[in-house]
């Protein structure tokens, strides 16, 4: 926490003849507030120190104080909507939103009432929430625990008239006292052996393929050290926030994220029982998937003929994928071939003497002759028949018969 001892206001007052118009404590309070941005007025006169405090102004002052002095972090994911601030400046609208996101002011209502004057009970409750978090909530009436804590710590001297309207300069003074208390926490002003606690807000708790940011929030009291206020998860897992309160008590809380899902579609390959030409069925098997898969329509597909089949599947995150099995190597058709004779049949009761050669020709596909010494020619030296046997590349067998009945002796 920074302390400011800048005497700008004193110099200004002296130059215009008002050096003794304000007591020293008030001047210190103004200088403190000016230097941390609680007020932006360049002179103490312009700061309206004796003016009443409006709710809109308290939103600005307490938001600045909570962030700049107490190092609180607003939960920017929290939605705060009010139906009566549309005519406020954009700056004030921003501070009203921050005061809600810091859980300091008007949480869970629709009207902010920005022009209402603030009582000591209201201001003390907001300051106590900033310093101690939820610790003093739940009193009856609502402010009693908050004001009692501030009085015990020396921040608020008089709590006997909680409904009195608050004055701007006294608000600044109490903020300065609270800052002094934080800075001098080890002097015995407050004896505290209770470990601080905190809650965690997540940027999203819905399933997401992106990152999730965990923000430390809702601290039970002011803390002076923390390892980090935010942690961004790129995958599921846990992270421990460590922190320390004003008295040196250490605390921790664990952020756990399990809603980051994998947006990558799973993939797989197909293995075939054979890729060679075959006259048997071909079995396609789903294999070599990129990750654990579920929801598979089938793991194997038997092809009795050429064609395609789509395997569908999903991963544990629900992403779907598919792969197509295509078979084009099944051949169950019996091969054929024709036989030519040379010389051929002269017909009309004519006959041929000498050798007649039968040649296997006009194959329906590429064939391998399996008899006749793999020869496509057979020589007849007389009438008779000969069967050519053959097989195609898929293993289908066929035959063709050559017949000679027109041979005669010379």
Q: Are 132 and 150 in contact (CB under 8 A)?
A: no
Q: Closest by alpha carbon to 170, among 190, 150, 189, 187?
A: 150
Evaluate whether 171 touches 32 at the Cβ level (below 8 Å): no
Helix axes 55-68, 120-132, angle to 10 degrees: 20
User: pLDDT at residue 222 above 60?
Assistant: yes
Q: Mean pLDDT across the stretch 172-177?
A: 83
Q: What is the mean pLDDT of the chain?
A: 85
Helix axis angle, 144-153 to 168-183, nearest 10°: 60
In this prediction, residue 108 carries a pLDDT of: 62
Looking at the predicted structure, is the pLDDT value of residue 5 above 60? no
Look at 257 and 196; give whichever has higher pLDDT: 257
pLDDT at 192: 56
Beta strands at 293-294 and 282-287: parallel, antiparallel or unpaired:
unpaired
pLDDT at 182 exceeding the cut of 70: no
Least confident of 13-22, 271-280, 310-319: 13-22
What is the token pair recorded at 261? 């899902």
Q: What is the DSSP string of 227-261?
A: S-SEEEESSSEEEEEEEEETT--EEEEEEEE--B-
pLDDT recorded at residue 369: 96
Contact 222, 245 (CB under 8 A): yes
Return the beta strands (E) in 122-262 as ranges: 199-202, 212-217, 223-226, 230-233, 237-245, 250-257
Residue 280 pLDDT grade (very low, low, confident, very high; cuts 50, 70, 90): very high
Pairing, β 300-303 against β 282-287: antiparallel
User: What is the residue whose two structure tokens read 């897992």?
Assistant: 237
pLDDT at position 35 is: 82
Quote the pLDDT of residue 397.
Answer: 96
Find out whether 254 and 238 touch, Cβ atoms under 8 Å: yes
Under 8 Å between Cβ of 118 and 53: yes
Outline where DSSP puts E strands in 96-249: 199-202, 212-217, 223-226, 230-233, 237-245
At residue 337, the pLDDT reads 96
pLDDT tens for 143-166 read 989 999 888 888 888 889 989 998
For residue 215, give the nearest of 70, 101, 68, 66 by alpha carbon. Answer: 101
Closest by CA to 361, choosing from 382, 375, 349, is 375
Per-residue confidence (pLDDT) for residue 212, from 0 to 100: 96
pLDDT at res. 281: 96
Q: What is the pLDDT of residue 296?
A: 93
Convert the pLDDT of each residue in 13-53 to its tens digit: 333 333 335 677 777 778 888 887 888 888 888 888 888 88
The reported pLDDT for the residue numbered 313 is 94
pLDDT in the model for residue 2: 41
The percent helix, strand, coil of the chain (3-state, each to 5) is: 20, 30, 50
CA 328, distance to chain mean position in Å, is 44
The Cα–Cα gap between 298 and 300 comes to 6
Beta strands in 157-211 (DSSP E): 199-202
Task: Assess contact for 263 and 321: CB atoms under 8 A.
Answer: no
Give ∠ CA 99-104-110 in degrees, rounded to 5: 70
Please write the tens of the pLDDT for every residue from 234-244. Answer: 999 999 999 88
| Range with the poorest average pLDDT among 96-105, 131-140, 285-294, 337-346 | 131-140
Q: Which candidate, 16, 7, 99, places its Cα nearest to that of 54?
A: 99
Share of the chain above pLDDT 90, in %: 43
Non-local (6+) Cβ contacts of 297 within 8 A are 311, 312, 313
Tell me the per-residue pLDDT of 348-378, one tens digit each, with 9 for 90 and over. Answer: 778 888 899 999 998 999 999 999 999 999 9
- Please say whether the beta carbons of 105 and 113 come within 8 A: no
């Amino acid at each position: 926490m920074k302390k400011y001892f800048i005497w700008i206001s004193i110099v200004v007052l002296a130059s215009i003849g008002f050096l003794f118009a304000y007591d020293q404590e008030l001047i210190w309070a103004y200088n403190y507030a000016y230097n941390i941005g609680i007020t932006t007025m360049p002179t103490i006169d312009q700061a309206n120190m004796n003016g009443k405090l409006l709710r809109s102004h308290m939103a600005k002052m307490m938001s600045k104080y909570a962030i700049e002095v107490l190092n609180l972090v607003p939960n920017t994911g929290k939605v705060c909507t009010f139906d009566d601030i549309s005519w406020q400046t954009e700056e004030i609208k921003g501070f009203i939103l921050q005061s809600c996101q810091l859980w300091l002011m008007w949480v869970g209502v629709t009207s902010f009432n920005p022009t209402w004057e603030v009582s000591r009970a209201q201001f003390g409750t907001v300051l106590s929430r900033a310093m101690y978090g939820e610790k003093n909530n739940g009193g009856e009436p609502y402010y009693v625990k908050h004001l009692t804590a501030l009085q015990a710590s020396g921040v608020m001297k008089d709590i006997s008239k909680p409904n009195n309207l608050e004055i701007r300069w006294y608000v600044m003074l109490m903020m300065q006292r609270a800052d002094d208390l934080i800075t001098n926490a080890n002097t015995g002003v407050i004896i505290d052996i209770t470990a601080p606690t905190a809650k965690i807000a997540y940027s999203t708790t819905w399933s997401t393929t992106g990152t999730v940011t965990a923000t430390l929030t809702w601290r039970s009291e002011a803390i002076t050290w923390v390892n980090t206020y935010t942690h961004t998860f790129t995958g599921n897992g846990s992270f421990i926030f460590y922190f320390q309160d004003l008295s040196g008590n250490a605390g921790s809380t664990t952020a756990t994220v399990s809603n980051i899902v994998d947006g990558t579609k799973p993939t797989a390959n197909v293995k075939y029982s054979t890729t060679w030409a075959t006259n048997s069925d071909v079995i396609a098997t789903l294999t070599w998937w990129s990750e654990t898969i579920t929801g598979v329509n089938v793991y194997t597909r038997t092809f009795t003929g050429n064609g395609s089949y789509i395997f569908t599947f999903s991963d544990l995150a629900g992403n779907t994928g598919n792969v197509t099995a295509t078979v084009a190597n099944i051949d169950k058709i019996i091969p054929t071939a024709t036989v030519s004779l040379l010389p051929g049949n002269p017909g009309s009761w004519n006959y041929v003497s000498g050798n007649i050669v039968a040649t296997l020709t006009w194959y329906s596909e590429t064939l391998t002759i399996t008899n006749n010494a793999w020869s496509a020619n057979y020589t007849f030296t007389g009438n008779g028949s000969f069967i050519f046997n053959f097989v195609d590349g898929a293993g289908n067998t066929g035959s063709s018969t050559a017949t000679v009945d027109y041979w005669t002796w010379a």
